[in-house]
Amino acid sequence: MNFDKLIDHFRLDKQEFYFQFNSHPNYPSALAFSDTLNFLGLKNDAYELDKEYWDELPSEFMALVDNSFSLVKKKDSEFTIYSDKVKNISKEELYKNSGDFVLLFEKTENVKTTTFFDFKPFIYVIFGIILLYSFLQFTWYESIFNLLSLLGIYISLELFNQKFGQESVVVNNICGGASNSNTQSACATIFSSDKTNILGLKLSDFSLIYFLGITFIGLLFPSAQFALRIISLISVLVILYSLYVQAFVEKSLCRVCLFIIFILLSQIVISSFYFSLEVYIPIVFIGIIAFISLFFTIAFLNNLMNQKEELKKSNAKNLRFKRNYDLFKRELLSNEKIDFSDKNTFFLGNKDAKLHISVVSNPYCGFCKNAHKILEDLLAKYPDEISAQIRFNYSGESAGEKYTQLISDFLSIYLNKSQHEFLNTVDIWFENRNEDEIKKKSGTNQPQNLTNIIQMTSENSSAGLTFTPVFILNGYQFPDKYDREDIHYFINELIEDEDFSA
């Protein structure tokens, strides 16, 4: 399934979306789609709704249109559909081509966006510097030749990345520029039919090697015109092969292939009319070494990326098993239930919530920082659905003067200020580990009564909760077989599970 237009509309992290969706235990169901959006911060609810009630839906909702999850935006009697592509359809056409499934969502400021570093601006800067250098140092025809080489590198890089699931807007625009969607499939068909396989490299990979090589030679060796002219003429064989496949084998034209052919032909014309025939043997030798080095480098990167893709697919399949709620619940309930008498000290969230999370923690525990961050995120995302308690392990004055003062300051802030400020203080503590800063935030030198916290610590110890951090869900210890971060994948089902309540 292709959700690119949908993902772009909500500015979601594309790689994270597809990974979470593919690794969901119920992939590729509507539940998997809904849970993935919830996980990425786009809160939603799914319904089966007869068409007679669709007029009452908000202006934006999601539905299964042509068996594809799609965003539907309505304006008057016309609807815009965001699926594998954007299209406008009538109300009658929408009702005819969609099922009763609808998904209502709520836009929030917590939607996760792309976190990966975007290398494209960096590449554009490099290309700009190369072009500036070329036009300042070389003749106009050499500069145009180098410009065409850079254009070839860019298109070839896009094709290289597209092999590993990274959609290219440029390639899609070239291939799918026409209104007829068959143009897009023609490009995909040509690339998939390429039988070339030399150390795993396809013809499009050799295009990248070719343009990188002639760019390297053309920039560093001004007297390499003869070598570039010969290399350009050799590319005629590739042009003829590509045209033969398109015209006689697949019987369809690939626009991006034709675009690369245009670049090659332009370079052949420039080199034939303007480049010198003077031969420099050292440059020929350097050129051969450069192309061989590039070949093995690209082959290595291609193999590395293939391994990464295989690991990603394998990991997604394994996670479908790991994220199965029934298995998680079975592991959770296999532990003996723990009953705490003190559920009020450092209590957070909604007192009437069905899901209660206790975090056994220690302010001086390095691993507890992440556990508190998880709890803070859950409380922010589900303020009405969950409650929580922070259960600091504190053994009394024997724990030390600094620890006693810190716990007293925490309690003072909790009792006299808002829950939000208390959570923010805990967050600041784990970030800076500065007792004076916490004391300043408490605003008092008067020690608090820590009897309840000592009793709470005693209960933790009696339950064997001495190592921190530990999550307790409705009295059941979070299973050791799962990572604490995995709670994000089960939180919605835990909240909705009527058989699992506090």
Q: With 70 as the cut, is the pLDDT of residue 76 above it?
A: yes
pLDDT digits (tens, 9 = 90+) for 411-425: 999 999 999 999 999
What pTM was computed for the model?
0.60
**In degrees rounded to 5, what are phi and psi of residue 64?**
-90, 100
| Per-residue confidence (pLDDT) for residue 477, from 0 to 100 | 94
Chain centroid to CA 257: how far? 30
Rounded to an integer, the average pLDDT of 355-377 is: 91
**What is the rounded CA–CA span in Å between residue 171 and residue 271?**
27
Least confident of 83-92, 137-146, 226-235: 83-92
| Per-residue confidence (pLDDT) for residue 45, from 0 to 100 | 82
Q: With 50 as the cut, is the pLDDT of residue 165 above it?
A: yes
Mean of pLDDT over the chain: 85
User: Does residue 322 or residue 414 have the better pLDDT?
Assistant: 414
Q: With 90 as the cut, is the pLDDT of residue 267 above it?
A: yes
| Per-residue confidence (pLDDT) for residue 443, from 0 to 100 | 85
**What is the rounded CA–CA span in Å between residue 114 and residue 110?**
12
Q: How confident is the model at residue 182 (pLDDT cuts 50, 70, 90)?
A: very low
Q: How confident is the model at residue 429 (pLDDT cuts 50, 70, 90)?
A: very high
Rounded to an integer, the average pLDDT of 363-392 is: 91
Highest-pLDDT range among 49-53, 278-282, 337-341 = 337-341
| Per-residue confidence (pLDDT) for residue 315, from 0 to 100 | 79
| Per-residue confidence (pLDDT) for residue 147, from 0 to 100 | 92
Q: With 90 as the cut, is the pLDDT of residue 28 above it?
A: no
Place of tokens 């007679």: 52
Q: With 80 as the cut, is the pLDDT of residue 340 above it?
A: yes
Q: Which domains does the chain have, with CATH numbers?
A: 4-106 (3.90.70.10), 120-310 (1.20.1440.130), 336-496 (3.40.30.10)
Q: Which segments of 366-431 are extended strands (E)?
A: 386-392
Nearest to 165 by CA among 276, 308, 10: 308
Nearest to 199 by CA among 295, 60, 339: 295
**What is the rounded CA–CA span in Å between residue 99 and residue 51?**
9
- What percent of the chain is modeled with pLDDT above 70? 93
Q: With 70 as the cut, is the pLDDT of residue 452 above it?
A: yes
Question: Residue type for 332, please?
Answer: L
Sheet of 98-106: strands edge to edge?
43-48, 98-106, 60-65, 68-75, 78-82, 86-90
386 exposed, middle or buried (CB, 10 Å; 0-12, 13-18, 19+)?
A: buried
Q: With 80 as the cut, is the pLDDT of residue 360 above it?
A: yes
Least confident of 221-225, 368-372, 450-454: 221-225
What number of other Cβ atoms are within 10 A of residue 501's Cβ? Answer: 12
Rounded to an integer, the average pLDDT of 292-317 is: 87
Rounded to an integer, the average pLDDT of 296-319 is: 86
Q: How far is CA 114 from CA 8, 59, 346, 377, 487, in A?
A: 10, 26, 35, 18, 22
| Per-residue confidence (pLDDT) for residue 114, from 0 to 100 | 45
Can you count the helices (H) and strands (E) in the chain?
Answer: 19, 11
| Three-class secondary structure of residue 453 per DSSP | helix
Strand pairing class (386-392; 355-361): parallel
**What is the rounded CA–CA span in Å between residue 371 and residue 484?**
7
**What is the rounded CA–CA span in Å between residue 305 and residue 108?**
35
Q: Which helix (H) or strand (E) holds 464?
A: none
Q: With 70 as the cut, is the pLDDT of residue 113 above it?
A: no
- What percent of the chain is modeled with pLDDT above 90? 30
Least confident of 2-16, 49-63, 278-292: 2-16
Beta bridge partners of 347: 389
Rounded to an integer, the average pLDDT of 440-449 is: 86
| Per-residue confidence (pLDDT) for residue 178, from 0 to 100 | 40
| Per-residue confidence (pLDDT) for residue 184, from 0 to 100 | 46
Q: How confident is the model at residue 181 (pLDDT cuts 50, 70, 90)?
A: very low
| Per-residue confidence (pLDDT) for residue 211, from 0 to 100 | 93
CB-based burial, 15-42: b 16+ in 10 Å, e otherwise: ebbbbbbbbbbebeebebbbbbbbbbbb
DSSP secondary structure letter of residue 485? G
Q: With 90 as the cut, is the pLDDT of residue 109 above it?
A: no
Q: With 50 as the cut, is the pLDDT of residue 116 above it?
A: no
Q: How confident is the model at residue 185 (pLDDT cuts 50, 70, 90)?
A: low
Q: Give the angle subtended at the CA of 301 by the CAs of 296 and 306, to the nearest 5°.
A: 125
Q: How far is CA 213 from CA 262, 265, 267, 287, 412, in A?
A: 18, 17, 14, 8, 68
Q: How confident is the model at residue 186 (pLDDT cuts 50, 70, 90)?
A: low
What number of other Cβ atoms are within 10 A of residue 133's Cβ? Answer: 13
| Per-residue confidence (pLDDT) for residue 118, from 0 to 100 | 59
Q: With 60 as the cut, is the pLDDT of residue 115 above it?
A: no
Rounded to an integer, the average pLDDT of 153-173 is: 79
User: Does residue 480 or residue 322 have the better pLDDT?
Assistant: 480
